[in-house]
Structure 1
Amino acid sequence: MKHAPQPTGLNAPQMLTFYKWGLAAGWTVVIAVLLVINYHNERSQAAETARTQARSEYQRDIIYRHWNAAYGAVYVPVSQQIQPNPYLADVPERDVFTTCGQQLTLVNPAYMSRLVFDLADRSYGVKGHMTSLRPLRPENRPDPWETNALLAFARGSQEESSVVDMADGSFLRLMKPLSTEAACLRCHGKQGYRVGEVRGGLGVAVPMAPLMAIAMQNYLVNAASFVLLWGLGLVGIQFGAGSLRRTIHERDQAEQRLIALNRDLTTRSRELETANRELDAFCSTVSHDLRSPLTAVSGYCQLLKHIPPQDRSEAENYTDAILDSTEKMDGLITALLKFARLSTNELLLVEVDVTTLAEDIAAELRAREPKRQAVFTIAKGMRAHADEVLLQVVLQNLMGNAWKYTGHCREARIELGIEQRGDQEFYLVRDNGIGFDNSQSELMFEAFQRLSNAQQFEGTGIGLATVKRIVQRHGGGIGCEGEVGKGATVYFSLR
């Protein structure tokens, strides 16, 4: 069956490029939004600073007025800047003369406020203005902004402020209501005001130019920081994208290697299965074809023992040799069959007391040769999750080899324990026997391979190959190390 073609799309590098530019664009938008927010924040801070300054100026003017009203107004010398107030002409004693003949004129709170406003305007550019919907002086008539503020006071507002453009620049204008006090009736009583009634407002205008200059300077410093942050962000995005691109490339290469490895592994697995089947067939053939003749040979050998006495001595020598050979061949056939069946028997994994198992095998070895001087050192508390029968085969082979190859030692020393190698625990069997050349360690676990210095000892040559196959079936690894004449160590792990 043919499969429908898959829709084409962006590959990983193209998607990465798309995401990189998208992230860079998003980062740019974030920085731009932050710049806009910072700009408006600096302007708001400047306006709030001006508003605070205007409230301070207003409080100062109110204090001056209260002080003046508390003392029933004050008198100051008449000068070019301070002339008698024509709107106080009907106030008794508006003008007085000192004993030395100097003329003094009355300065009420409103007049003093105007004088203070003029001085503040000339000195600092801060403007002040008293106004009312019913002013005594034409100069106190409200402009449109002040009119709206006074109407708001009539509705109950206690403060009006905003940034507006005036003739000589941008200003923060602030106005609060002026309430009629008892002292105010001396000058404004004829207008019909009552104590507590709002009769106008006192306004202050603070220039925004100096504060906006400071705000713009702060904004430029912050903008430079944001631009630097934006640049660092773009560098980080580019670096991250490059690193991710390399990672993707390495991943793709690893996937290709893994595909090739799996393909090779599948091929090798098929080859191994074929080899195992052939080995099983070979072992079965050996068992069938050789065991029968060996049985016959053994039977004839038994008959030879019953020949006449005159020929018995020589016949017994032949029969002993024949029997010994048949026993060796039978042992080889049995070992081959066990080796072949290791790959087919199903593992039965249980918790195994390795220490007890090793102690039992040591006792069996001692029982074979009770006169041998041997010291077994078996670590306590060793346990493993394994097939108990197969693990016993492993220990029997390893400890049996150690027992065999220490046969010429005055005192054999055989150790079984656990050792940390890298990040994994390994079981080890160590002896002080004949050892081996460490350069030949790769041959130790090959079937039918026996090292040159081991030829004097009996063996089939498949014991360590059997151990290796059992360990590999458990998902573990095995290795060995030794030195000629100084002993050997075999170590293995289980899953």
Structure 2
Amino acid sequence: MTVPFWYHERSRRRMFGTIAAAWIAVMGLSLAWNWRQVEESAVMFATAEARASYEKDLVYRRWAAIQGGVYVPPSEATPANPYLSHLPDRDITTVDGKQLTLVNPAYMTRQVYMLAKEQYGVQGKITSLKPLNPANVADSWETAALNAFAAGSREVVARETMNGETHLRLIRPLITEKPCLKCHASQGYREGDIRGGISVSIPFSPYAVAAERQQRQLLFAHLLICALGLLGLGKGNSLLRASESQVLKSDERYKNVLHAAMDGFLLVDLQGHLLETNQTYSRMSGYSVEELLTMSVADLDVVEGAGDIASRIQSILTLGKSRFESKHRRKDGSVMDVEISAQYRPSEGDRLIVFLHDITERKQAEEEHRKLTLQLYQAQKMEAIGTLAGGIAHDFNNILGAILGYAELVRDDCPAGSNAAHDVDQVLKAGTRAKELVKQILAFSRQSEGERIPLQPAAIIAEAVKMLRATLPTTISIEQDIDPAAGVILANPTQIHQILMNLGTNSCHAMEAQGGVLSISLLKMKVSESDFPSQKHLKPGTFVRLSVKDTGVGILPEVKDKIFDPYFTTKATGKGTGMGLAMVHGIVESYGGAVICESTPGEGTVFHIILPTIDSGTLLGNTAIEPVPTGNEHILLIDDEEMLVEMGKAMLTRMGYRVTTRTNGFEALATFRNEPDAFDLVISDQTMPGMTGSELARRMLAIRPDLPIILCTGYSSTVSEEEAKMLGIRGFAFKPLTKKEVGILVRKILDGN
């Protein structure tokens, strides 16, 4: 929170001192102006009175001039005017003998002035630079005014001291009119000439007294208003001081709360610079408060650049607030996840109020939860795979059993070295691989290990390459570099075959559109600790490296991290299950090896399979081919698949056995119950409608406990080998079985081995 400048004591005092001085100056100026206005008003009113007196006197004089003067009886107050002696009719006698003397306008005006002076103090005077009557001689002020009239002035007003008293004096020019020439023509005046002036002097003391009284009132009023204003300022200062104290306390509480808050706080300007922060964010980031105040948001945020931050600020200004997640870099270089709440309040100025909550632990917990959820999901999918595999294994193995069985029968009938024999051999190889593949699928779904033996992978790789070549279009060529002495590994042959087939098939799909080259190599390599830093489980030593390279479309970086996830596929529906690379990855890691993928979009991909070698002395030697055992015992063969029953009967018959067949458990049980001692061995499928093989065995053993029974299953979750032994079943086998496997197992059970 930023405290305004006037909350600081020194600034506050300076501010109030300035305001008080300004207030006194304003009141002083107001007093001076009004004081002057009162003085001017007094002069104005006195001037108005003088003008009124002048106009009145002028009217009297004009009337007298028009009348040519008036005749009055001579008296002490009005003696005959000696200055009119040149007039023949100055003095007249009426018919009744009454003496009259002429009172001309000037004489009459002078007497009126004298009367006014006595009664009102107003002095009037007719004056001239060439007076007939010496009493009308102009004084110095009047002389200056009369000279001004000659220069064009029409009125002169001034305050003058007369007989020790201040008077307002006004003089206007006296214009010669036609009636005036009766008395003044002898002086050479003509009509329209200025022959003098009429002067009026008004005592100014009444106006001065009134003005002084008004000025005293003004002074008192201004002093009162000024004092009230200063008192108001003083009160305001006290209130502001109290408010300052409260605000400072509130600010201190605010800062204490802010620094004790669980969340970080930032005050940011519109350019992203940090203006204020709290101790919480200082602890979160590792920077001191002082260091943070020299930084900007761009120095801390590792997700958004300067342009993104500017856009984010503009969005906050538009919406008023925003809530989002980001990452901030700590001083030690580590990154923390933060949840940000930002607000824009115009009342706070061009600033953003930002609160930051450290959600690093929450994000880590969410990631752990995501991983656990994924693991659970993967476990559920593996369980689903197991269920699915179990569901199809029986039927698929029955199909494989028929293919392998009839192929062996055909192979027996083919001349040695014939093309037919070669072709059937290929069918048998493919069928055997398919049989092993089903086992691997079941093993993978159960997360169990397949049987591993020491082997040279070169022969298996060569065989897989042949199968790949037969499936590839002509637009894709194969280049191979197989070292037959690359090394001995401990592995399951079918799994090695499966690895190459999966990788090769994927490469083929990547080059479908434009064609290309599939390169396969098998080499020996030495691995040091620095060769594969991301594969820390690889120990230094000798390894074999199987590389499968294509010139296809490549893998996008954002996809590369997901290619080993189960069910993840970029192929169209029906072209991939998303399990191939997951199985490859699982097999290789179970061998203690590593899968390295290198890819450039638009150029191609290479997969390196790194597998540890073992001592070549453990490699199994070639074993002699033994003939299929034969016999002449009577066997009861039961399977719900009629095709398998016929194939099994033909196979066993060729071995010399007598065979009775049935296609369901109830028929077989009835046949056996009729002649329990007629059969030397019973071979039954486990999964059959109506009655399972294990149930059939239990009932038969109840009739004849010493009966040898072999139970065959493509896949069954209802009975295991241990459970079969507990029932008294002597043989337990997984379909499909080759002729040799059947012959060995039958002979083993019949011979009591």
Partner of 1:387: none
Separation in structure 2 between the aligned mates of residue 28 and residue 271 of structure 1, nearest angstrom: 55
Partner of 1:16: 12
Partner of 1:356: none
Separation in structure 2 between the aligned mates of residue 186 and residue 209 of structure 1, nearest angstrom: 40
What's the CA shift for 1:137? 1.8
Partner of 1:48: 44
Q: Which of 89, 101, 105 in structure 2 is aligned with 1:105?
A: 101
Partner of 2:167: 171
Separation in structure 2 between the aligned mates of residue 10 and residue 255 of structure 1, nearest angstrom: 14
What amino acid sits opposite 2:373 in the alignment?
Answer: S
What amino acid sits opposite 1:273 in the alignment?
Answer: I
| C-alpha distance after superposition, 1:299-321 (max 9, x if no partner) | 9999999xxxxxxxxxxxxxxxx
What's the CA shift for 1:185? 2.1
Partner of 2:188: 192
Q: Does 1:64 align with 2:57?
A: no
Separation in structure 1 between the aligned mates of residue 60 and residue 6 of structure 2, nearest angstrom: 78
Q: Return 199-208 or 76-85, whichever deviates more.
A: 76-85
What amino acid sits opposite 2:363 in the alignment?
Answer: R
Partner of 2:26: 30
Partner of 2:229: 233
What's the CA shift for 1:294? 6.3
Question: Are the aligned partners of 2:7 and 2:244 in contact in 1 as well (CA < 8 Å)?
Answer: no
What's the CA shift for 1:98? 4.2
Separation in structure 1 between the aligned mates of residue 247 and residue 122 of structure 2, nearest angstrom: 71
What's the CA shift for 1:230? 1.7
Q: Which of 373, 387, 392 in structure 2 is aligned with 1:287?
A: 373
| RMSD, aligned CA | 3.0
Separation in structure 1 between the aligned mates of residue 377 and residue 242 of structure 2, nearest angstrom: 64
Separation in structure 2 between the aligned mates of residue 292 and residue 109 of structure 1, nearest angstrom: 138
| C-alpha distance after superposition, 1:40-80 (max 9, x if no partner) | 11111111111111111111111111111112211122222
Q: Does 1:122 align with 2:118?
A: yes
What SS class does the counterpart of residue 59 from structure 1 fall into? helix
Aligned residues: 298
Partner of 2:208: 212
| C-alpha distance after superposition, 1:72-121 (max 9, x if no partner) | 21112222221111112232232234455543221000000110000110
What SS class does the counterpart of residue 24 from structure 1 fall into? helix
What SS class does the counterpart of residue 96 from structure 1 fall into? strand
What's the CA shift for 1:260? 3.5
Partner of 1:157: 153
| C-alpha distance after superposition, 1:416-444 (max 9, x if no partner) | xxxxxxxxxxxxxxxxxxxxxxxxxxxxx
TM-score (norm 1): 0.54
What's the CA shift for 1:287? 2.7
Instruction: Structure 2 unaligned segments of length 5 or more: list them.
Output: 265-279, 282-337, 339-355, 392-753
Q: Which of 123, 126, 131 in structure 1 is aligned with 2:127?
A: 131
What's the CA shift for 1:262? 3.7
What amino acid sits opposite 1:87 in the alignment?
Answer: Y
Partner of 2:143: 147
Partner of 1:273: 359
- With over 3 angstroms needed to count, the CA separation of the structure-2 counterparts of 1:292 and 1:179, relative to structure 1, is closer
Partner of 1:82: 78
- With over 3 angstroms needed to count, the CA separation of the structure-2 counterparts of 1:289 and 1:131, relative to structure 1, is same
What amino acid sits opposite 2:11 in the alignment?
Answer: M
What SS class does the counterpart of residue 66 from structure 1 fall into? helix
What's the CA shift for 1:160? 1.2
| C-alpha distance after superposition, 1:382-440 (max 9, x if no partner) | xxxxxxxxxxxxxxxxxxxxxxxxxxxxxxxxxxxxxxxxxxxxxxxxxxxxxxxxxxx
Separation in structure 2 between the aligned mates of residue 275 and residue 236 of structure 1, nearest angstrom: 59
Q: How does 1:346-361 map to 2 (within 5 A)?
A: none
What's the CA shift for 1:192? 1.6
Separation in structure 2 between the aligned mates of residue 228 and residue 234 of structure 1, nearest angstrom: 10
What amino acid sits opposite 1:21 in the alignment?
Answer: G
What SS class does the counterpart of residue 359 from structure 2 fall into? helix
What's the CA shift for 1:157? 1.5
What's the CA shift for 1:286? 3.8
What's the CA shift for 1:245? 3.7
Q: How does 1:223-372 map to 2 (within 5 A)?
A: 223-263=219-259, 264=261, 265-266=263-264, 267=280, 272-284=358-370, 286-287=372-373
Partner of 2:177: 181
Question: Are the aligned partners of 2:168 and 2:202 in contact in 1 as well (CA < 8 Å)?
Answer: yes
Q: Return 46-55 or 284-293, whichever deviates more.
A: 284-293
- With over 3 angstroms needed to count, the CA separation of the structure-2 counterparts of 1:82 and 1:193, relative to structure 1, is same
Partner of 2:681: none
What amino acid sits opposite 1:145 in the alignment?
Answer: W
What's the CA shift for 1:184? 1.7
Partner of 2:350: none
What amino acid sits opposite 1:159 in the alignment?
Answer: E
Separation in structure 2 between the aligned mates of residue 29 and residue 216 of structure 1, nearest angstrom: 22
Q: Return 102-111 or 92-101, whichever deviates more.
A: 92-101
Q: Which of 67, 88, 103 in structure 2 is aligned with 1:92?
A: 88
Identity %: 35
Separation in structure 2 between the aligned mates of residue 234 and residue 274 of structure 1, nearest angstrom: 60
What's the CA shift for 1:153? 1.0
Instruction: Structure 1 unaligned segments of length 5 or more: list them.
Output: 1-8, 306-495
What's the CA shift for 1:259? 3.5
Higher-RCO chain (CA-CA 8 Å, sequence separation at least 6):
1
Separation in structure 1 between the aligned mates of residue 7 and residue 250 of structure 2, nearest angstrom: 17
What's the CA shift for 1:201? 0.8
